[in-house]
Structure 1
Amino acid sequence: MRTARRITSALAVTAFVLTVAAACSDDDAGSADKQSAADRVCTADDIEVDGGFGEKPEVTLPEDCTAPTEIVTKDLVEGSGPEAQEGGGVLTDYLLVSWSDQQVQDNSFDRGQPFPVEPLGQAQVIQGWNEGLIGIQKGDRRLIIIPPEKGYGTTGQGTIGPDETLVFVVDAVEIR
């Protein structure tokens, strides 16, 4: 009888230890999944942009990945005609969202005045625009993600803080 109780007690203790070990292991796996998701670098496909060419876009940024460290571009709507070349110009409508707080910082849609960028490549705009607009065609809607060093850098600008990743949606109204 005592042997049976000892075996039953030993089995109960073993079952308890295995249950606790499994629970801890599951918690560790969940933490690892959360950690790896936070370490994943976002792509243009992770960003949701609603609205068509000529309409003020709505941008939703993901929370489960980090901002890219290189310029990322993606044409959301394809236009036609000649591509913007270095030294030429582009007349644009744009919307800017800051990565860290997902707030719209600026846009030309509300002003009803497109913004000229020329000469492309050396225009008096952030470097990310000079690079990110090369090859855009009239009628294109392009998503451009710009890391801080190609944007406003370590100092920021106005309401845009230092070391901010910038997310632009740009409509190419005209190629010059």
Structure 2
Amino acid sequence: MSETQKSKPEIEAPQSPAPEALEIVDLVEGDGAEATPGATVDVHYLGVDYDSGEEFDSSWGRGQSIQFPLQGLIQGWQDGIPGMKVGGRRQLTVPPQLAYGPAGSGHPLGGKTLIFVIDLLGVK
């Protein structure tokens, strides 16, 4: 685990309009195993609303990482995590169509662009 991955990330609320497409930015390049589309990943993550900067979910808040298969996640994660290497920290800015769908979809985060900072701790 890198020094960066020992602490919860902080996300500044963007000042620009939300992007229409998935944005992927590597904040720290990993040097371990690479995540593939069919992988099960072990991650720490923080999620905030693009417009308000309000945190809506964080594995850091629960004090433990979480492990899950990529296929079960929102499309933005399925598209944005493969290619990432263990030890890396990546920021994904996910538009509604790749997150929880349009406003009124029934999900509380429907219609929202979301920002996630993801630390990749392991790949299976």
What TM-score, normalized by structure 2, do the two folds share?
A: 0.89
**Structure-1 separation of matches of 2:53 and 2:93:** 13
1:115 to 46, 59, 66: 66
Task: Tell me, yes or no, if the aligned pair for 1:126 and 1:152 is still in contact at 8 Å.
Answer: yes
Which entry has the higher C-alpha Rg, 1 or 2? Answer: 1
**Structure-1 separation of matches of 2:106 and 2:6:** 28
AA aligned to 1:128 is: G
1:145 to 93, 108, 119: 93
* 2:59 is the counterpart of 1:59: no
Task: Tell me, yes or no, if the aligned pair for 1:54 and 1:171 is still in contact at 8 Å.
Answer: no
* 2:18 is the counterpart of 1:70: no
SS of the residue 1:138 aligns to: coil
SS of the residue 1:149 aligns to: helix
- CA deviation map 1:106-139 (0-9, x unaligned): 1001212211131x3x2x2111111111011111
SS of the residue 2:5 aligns to: coil
Could you tell me which residue of structure 2 aligns to residue 165 of structure 1?
113
Q: Which runs of 5+ in 1 are unaligned?
A: 1-50
More helix by share: 1
> Which structure exhibits the higher relative contact order, with contacts defined as CA atoms closer than 8 Å and separated by 6 or more residues?
2
- CA deviation map 1:23-61 (0-9, x unaligned): xxxxxxxxxxxxxxxxxxxxxxxxxxxx92231111102
AA aligned to 2:8 is: K
**Structure-2 separation of matches of 1:149 and 1:113:** 29
Aligned length: 120
AA aligned to 1:82 is: A
AA aligned to 1:170 is: I
Q: Percent identity?
A: 38
* 2:30 is the counterpart of 1:82: no
Root-mean-square deviation (Å): 1.5
Q: Which runs of 5+ in 2 are unaligned?
A: none
**Structure-1 separation of matches of 2:51 and 2:83:** 28
Task: Tell me, yes or no, if the aligned pair for 2:14 and 2:50 is still in contact at 8 Å.
Answer: no
Task: Tell me, yes or no, if the aligned pair for 1:94 and 1:170 is still in contact at 8 Å.
Answer: yes
